[in-house]
Structures are given as C-alpha cells and as structure tokens.
Amino acid sequence: MKDKRINNFFSRQGYILLSLLVISIFLFKTFQSLQYKESYASPDLRNRITGARILKHYQSASPYFYKWKEGDDEHLLDPYDSPEIKVNRNTVTPFTLQLIQPFCDYSFQSIAVGWYMAETIALIIILLLMLKQAVNQRQRFMCMVITFVITGCSQAWLLHNINGQVYIFYTLLLTLLYYSSLYKNNWACLLSGLLLAVLILMRPIMIAFVIPFLLQKKWRPLLYVITFTGVYFITQWYDGSIWIWKEYIHAMNVWAEQQFNLQPVKDYLDVYSITKIEGSLAVQYSPYQWLTENSSLTGLAFRFLGWQLPVTVLMITALFISALLAFSVRNKLNKFDARRLFVFAFMVYFIAEISLPAVRNIYTGVQWIFPLLVIFSQSYLHKKTIILLLIGGFFAMGFFKFLPFDLTLAELIFAVICIQYINTKLVHA
C-alpha cells in the first residue's frame, strides 16, 4: 500500500506538478540574483576581462601584476583591485585568458549580461545531459531538484552569478567529459582527450580526472591529452608566449604568501574619484564583502587555530587524505564503473582544491552538482541518502546562518554522500 502511494505521488501528473514547482523556485531565485546583479558589477569577471585585454593588446604588461594608474585606458581598470597589493586579482590560467580574448573588447556591460546568460545555459545543459542517463521519473525529478533547488537556490550559485565566476563552466566541461567517456568509439576518445586537456589547462588540479581513464585502461584519451597539451605548450614557446605561464606561477606564489594579509585593503574606488567605467556607474563595492566563508584548509586553520599552514604541510595533507580515500576502496577500485570512478576522481579533486594555498570562496560549491547528478541520476533512491541530500541543500541555501560555516557544512554533507556512494553496493537502475 505504501509503495502504491509512492508510485501515485511520482505519477506523470505529480511529476509534472513537482517539476513546475521546482522550476518556479529557481526562477524566483534567478530574479533575486538579477536584483543583486544591478548592485554588484561582476567583480571577478571584470579582472578576467581586463587581464585578457592586457594580454591581447599590451604584450609587455603582465595580466597578473599590472596595476592601473591615472591616465591609463579605462578598459584596463579593475576598480576592485587594490594598489596596496603586489599582484592584481586575476587568478585564472593564461589559457583561460586566451579563451576570453575573442570577446574581451566588447563593452563590459554587454559581456556581463552574456556571461550571466551563459552561466544559466551551462546549468541547464548539465541537467539535460544527466537526464539522458536517468531511466525513471523519480531519478529525473531528483536531477531537477539537485539542479534547480540544491544548486540553483544555493548561496554558492547566487555568489557565482553576482561575481561572474567560471566554476559552472568547469563543471559543464567535466560533465561533457564524463558523458563522452561512456562511449568507446574513436570520436569519443578524441573528444575525451580534448576536454580533459582543456580542463587541465584551465585548472591544473583537474588532472585528478585522469584517474577514471587510468583505472579503466583507456589509453587513447590519455594519449590525446598529452598530444593536445604538448602541442599547446610548443605553440606557446614558438610564439614567445611561454613567459606568461611563468608569470602565472609567480603570481600564484605571491598570492599564497600574502593571503592572510588581504584585509583591510583599499581598492581603486577608494583611492581615485571614479564615477563611471566604460559608460556604467562605478559601484562602491569590495569583493571582500561577500567573502563570507573561506573553506580552504588554510582558511579554516587560520580562523579557528590562528595557524598559517605552509605549502609543504598542505601538500602532505592533500596526499594523506587522498591516500586514506584510496585505501578505503583499495579492493574495489578495479571493479568500479565509470560513474563511481568519476565520483572518486571528483573527491580527489575536491581534496586538492581545499588544500590549495589560496582563499576558497563559497561559489566553488556549484561544482557539487556534478557528482550529485551522477549519483542520483543512476541509482535507486535511498531514503537516508535523500534526507542527507536535503539537509545539505538547506545548509547550502544559507538557512542556518546561526551556525558557523553553514555552507562549508553543506559541502561536507555532499562529500559524505559521495564517499558513501563509492563505498556501498548501490544498485543501478
């Protein structure tokens, strides 16, 4: 009788009504983020655009160390940068800046609108790809809940939109990589190799996702990864552009050294009387206002213990935690299918990310949509796991502000779900 009520609840009509409710909630949160968007002018996107412009038009200047001064082109001004800090706020790789170059000369306001639309489109594409993996209505509904409520209504997604961040695009590429890895033909291998190479060049710790291919002995995609990255760096060396990668590494080292001394700082809006930038009002806003949680190991250790963890300690910690995770599934790894291998690789990536000697803001949390969709689009629904997911979702939405680091707790709950998934004998539908 109980099963019958559940089946009726997830009937076609109920599924449609619940889906409409979920989409309505997401649209409401989207409207809210648009209101914030009018007040806060995509500060993180701004430094990517100015960095791409510097790299494109001013070969002698570094997109990582350039500091604007009066008389310089306003198109190069990142108003939220600080002249008090040696490096500027640009932290993405040169490859990412090169991908941005083709459209960096448009007005920033137009780019910001297009970027916001692209973020939402990326989220929907991720959902559509994972819906193709689901085999029943309940799994499809859970995919929509994870996409539009757990992710789309989270503080991570709101902050991602406001700042104009890039993590949803990493996640889209990762989803495409996962999807292409499920096929064995030559084109799928070529696409997998290209996607993984792009991910590594955009975010080097994405190298964790070689693990599924290594353990499944899929050598051709890995050969393509080596080929694509090798051709890229040879081209950079031949073109005389390899110096920018050295600048990037140097800038990241400087960031690691000064990350505990960022506050308080004065940005360019404090130093100069700037009212308009590229025809738009210059908003009095510091990105550090939204730095509500630093969920990196360095941030947590510094806040609760007052410790400044050196890079060596962080590397050893990352290796140790990854080794513990691998040890816990040592007898199962060779038997894992692609789904579990990718969830396992994501956990290794997550460990590497929190171990970086840098601030880790809450907008990185949008990446959890990937492993959660992989899990819930394929497996039969377990009541305890669903309850755990919903609790994590409530934390992610910021409903428990009275708790310290509520959004970090959400990530820990999602991590528990992933570890539970790779350690238990779940039945795939």
For residue range 273-300, what is the model confidence (pLDDT) as tens digits? 665 677 565 555 544 444 457 788 887 8
- Of 425, 417, 376, which Cα lies nearest the Cα of 133? 376
- Strand, coil or helix: 281: strand
373 within a domain of the structure (yes/no): yes
429 within a domain of the structure (yes/no): no
The pTM of the full predicted model, rounded to 2 decimals, is: 0.89
Q: Widest CA span of the chain, in angstroms?
A: 76
The three-state (H, E, C) secondary structure of 71-92, written as one string? CCCHHHCCCCCCCCCCCCCCCC
Q: Which residue has the higher pLDDT, 136 or 230?
A: 230
- C-alpha dihedral sign at 283, 280, 156, 345: negative
Average pLDDT over residues 35-63: 82
Average pLDDT over residues 264-269: 59
**CB-neighbour burial class of residue 375 (10 A; exposed 0-12, middle 13-18, buried 19+):** buried
For residue range 334-367, what is the model confidence (pLDDT) as tens digits? 777 888 999 999 999 999 999 988 888 889 999 9
Angle at 253 between CA 248 and CA 256, to 5 degrees: 125
Q: Calculate the alpha carbon distances from 329 to 106, 340, 346, 423, 425 in Å.
A: 50, 11, 15, 7, 12
For residue range 20-37, what is the model confidence (pLDDT) as tens digits? 666 666 666 666 666 555
Domain limits at 262?
A: 2-423
In angstroms, rounded to a whole number, what is the distance separating the alpha carbons of residues 296 and 358?
Answer: 7
428 within a domain of the structure (yes/no): no
109 within a domain of the structure (yes/no): yes
What are the contacts of 388-393 at 24+ separation with CB within 8 A?
Answer: 388/413, 388/416, 388/417, 389/146, 389/150, 389/413, 389/414, 389/417, 392/150, 392/417, 393/149, 393/150, 393/154
Output the pLDDT for position 1: 46
For residue range 394-423, what is the model confidence (pLDDT) as tens digits? 888 876 666 667 788 899 999 999 998 888
For residue range 117-141, what is the model confidence (pLDDT) as tens digits? 899 999 999 999 998 888 888 888 8
Q: Would residue 185 be called left, alpha or beta, if left means φ above 0 and alpha means ψ between -120 and 50 degrees?
A: beta
Q: Which residues lie closer than 8 Å to 193 by C-beta, 6 or more apart? A: 220, 221, 222, 223, 224, 225, 227, 228
Domain count within the chain: 1
